[in-house]
Amino acid sequence: MNIAELVKKLNTDIEKGLTEEEAKRRLKIYGYNTIKEEDRFSDLKLFINQFKNPFILLLLFASFLSYLLGDKFESLIIILIVFLGGVVDFFQERSAHKTIESLRSLVKVKATVIRSGQKKEIHLEDIVVGDIVILTAGDVVPADCIVIESKDLFVNESILTGESYPVEKMETEKVFKGSYVVSGFAKALCIAIGKDTEFGKIASKYSEIKYETDFERNLRRFGYLLTEVAFVLILIVFFVNVYFHRPVVESFLFALSLSIGITPTLLPAIVTVALSVGAKKMADKKVVVKRLISIENFGSMNVLCCDKTGTITQGIMKLVSYKDLNNKENEKVFLLAYLNAYFQTGFKNPIDEALISYKSLDIDAYKKIDEIPYDFNRKRLSIFVKTPDSKNLLITKGAVKNILQVCEFVEINNKVNPLTDEYKEKILNNLEDFSKKGYRVLAVAYKFNDKDIIGFSDESKMIFLGFLIFEDPLKEDVLDAINILKEKGIKLKILTGDNRFVAKHIGEKLNLNNVLTSEDLHNIHPDALVKVVEKYDIFAELTPSQKEDIIQALRKGGNVVGYIGDGVNDVPPMKSADVSISVDNAVDIAKESADIVLLEKSLKVLLDGVLEGRKAFVNTLKYIFMQTSSNFGNIFSMAGASFIIPFLPLLPKQVLASNFLTDFAVITIPNDNVDEDWINTPKKWDFNFIKSFMVVFGLISSFFDYVTFGVLLFIFHLSPEYFRSGWFIEAMLTQLLVILVLRTKNSFYRSKPSNYLAFSILTIVSLTFIIPYTPIGEILEIKPLPLNLLIIILSIVFLYIAVVEFVKLKFYKVYS
């Protein structure tokens, strides 16, 4: 179809676009412009997820079966406790998801559309078929569109084609969702959104493939380990109780209740809440998390790669001078540079802004004819203009060496001479002199051309005119920030397109003295690069593909690598890094590609975010430590108790009530304080450490459980009801108080828990003593105990805590 037919079919208007009412109507009918529907938050789905654990489903089924067999009251109590636990977990996770959604909305990429005749910015997901979209340099193409108007439009379609060079797009041609504008301008008509786009069709083929981070993979392994242990215990406990002729259904319910105690049913909620709490604290420090699980990579990061502009330097370019080959200021150099900067339609950059703002020139007599956009392989930008005397003038501005590549002549004292080796040497000597002083240096060249349009081949046989000299001062606090990063276990590596002399000048000021250049990289075998990149702090004169190579080599060396980027050229290295970081004022495609967005481009802000990420990771581990110690020990003890005790050691409802109450305490762990020494180094998952932790502290817990069994059975000779009451209190106290010990690797009395955690533990401990005297105690069949028995139980608990504290300090010494 031609444009007119499409406009008519889609019932839109090229000039006015859709009305707001029509856009809302289409949004309701056809849905959001997203690839996966499940990406959108759903209360119902989240609530159902709380009961997807197979052991919970089995328990509910068995409870229902018990209800049908006549044990209605007990069954309803069990179902009620499981339901209440799911509700608590649901509200915790829901709050976490809402937090993340609100944070993501702060940095959502927007698109410019025409609605009711007015330009308006909307979120990408709100684009509908029939929208008229405005595209400029750096914009993500929000949907599949037909170009209605275009001016020097070049689009990078590498996400679809794998080809990194930009493609020129003309009127009536198609631009695709997921590609991005490198330079130029366009007005386009949206013809397909979401899963109906070409990108959506490709993505849907791979929708089942899930790429896991190291953190996710180890969480899954940990979950499988505990599930396997739980399954074995269920079989043992069930068959032992049946063997001793205990009620089959009640034995099955008891075994399933134990399995829920050890399986990490709360782990997904704890991870989500811990990471969302971390994300909220990071947002308070101007670091916004777009992908929640990336917080773990952020906390694990031990190498940070960045460009120098805006991160190391202030990012505000200032034109210092414009000189010819004789090192004299030359107004012609400035005029041609000004024309080049003024007429270019690519992405905004500090160089062109510095030229235009330096001083204003009257250039009304010049008319732009054509343009060859800047790209990071050529490192040049060419503008073709008609001069006041009707000559066609090609002006090229770019990196000095890249300009030299296309020059055969040089202008000296208003005369054009052949570019001899002597002149080349003089140009390079001038470049070196300026660069050694820390200046950023570009070159300007020109030639006259009779063509009406130009192409890449026209950048040849040009006349070298002179130099543009810029400065970009270092940030005042950058040296302190780099030193603190180093103290926290993060090495900084600067990856820049600037020449080696500027890079070396910056390095000397920052005590980063090893510089490797693009030329050096060409001579290094990829296998050797893994070791070479470790030795250098600064990499100069790089192309985007070389930045990718460096990041991949660092990752192959076992590093967790972060990369900060804000421009179109930063997208490839960002995608290669473990954690991609951008800034709020970056081009759309950089923000879209980022896991983390800084609201202020500063190493200090980034460091604050890293430390919060480490805290979130540590608080997740605290839950795992608690889960693997007291819970594992208690469940192991109950399995053993089935052999030596002539009755069920705890009723199913008592086991579930214990789990439910301890959940209230551990759910506050994500808000806990974290010791300074725990976040001084990058955090990584150590599966062997966790398994050792589980065995050591699980066995300690189990040992004291057996001591309790002996006291209750052989010293006090308690009946089943009082035995269960005594062990219920002991199990609750050990599970709660051990949190205060295992939440720190230091002496527990030197590390202050958060107010939330302290309050929740104190509250549940109090309830543990109160419940036997309430109607709830009667329902759960938990009896009040005599004072002398309570004192004995408390003595066992405090002895247990003392032993755990002693072993913990020794354990961390061994592992340190």
Residues annotated as catalytic are: 307
| Max intra-chain CA distance, the chain | 113
Q: Is 518 helix (H, G, I), strand (E, B) or coil?
A: helix
H-helix segments, 645-719: 652-666, 687-710
Give yes or no for a contact between 190 and 144, defined as CB atoms under 8 angstroms apart: yes
Structural element, H or E, at residue 749 = none
Contact 188, 145 (CB under 8 A): yes
| Cα separation, 596 vs 606, whole angstroms | 10
Of how many residues is the chain composed?
816
Determine the residue type at 63. S
Which single residue is written with the structure tokens 């809440």?
273
Q: How far is the CA of 34 from the CAs of 204, 206, 597, in angstroms?
A: 11, 15, 21
What is each CA distance from 579 to 213, 419, 574, 617, in whole angstroms? Answer: 10, 46, 8, 15
Task: Give the three-state DSSP class for 256.
Answer: helix
Burial 433-463 (b: 16+ CB within 10 A, else e): ebbeebbbbbbbbbbebeeeebeeebbeebb
> Within a 13 Å sphere around the CA of 24, how many CA atoms are in the beta-carbon half?
4
User: Taking a C-beta distance cutoff of 8 angstroms, is the pair 577, 561 a contact?
Assistant: yes
Helices 652-666 and 72-106 cross at an angle (nearest 10°) of 20
Please say whether the beta carbons of 131 and 116 come within 8 A.
no
- Rounded distance between C-alpha atoms, residue 244 and residue 251, angstroms: 10
CA atoms of 153 and 185, how far apart (whole Å): 6
Residue whose entry in the numeric block shows the structure tokens 């270092």:
474
Long-range CB pairs of 408-416 (<8 Å, 24+ gap) are 408/460, 408/461, 408/462, 409/461, 409/462, 409/463, 409/464, 410/325, 410/463, 410/464, 411/324, 411/325, 411/463, 411/464, 411/465, 411/466, 412/324, 412/325, 412/326, 413/326, 416/463
DSSP string, 118-150: EEEEEEGGG--TT-EEEEETTPBP-SEEEEEEE
**Where are the alpha helices (H) located in 69-197, listed in sequence order?**
72-106, 158-161
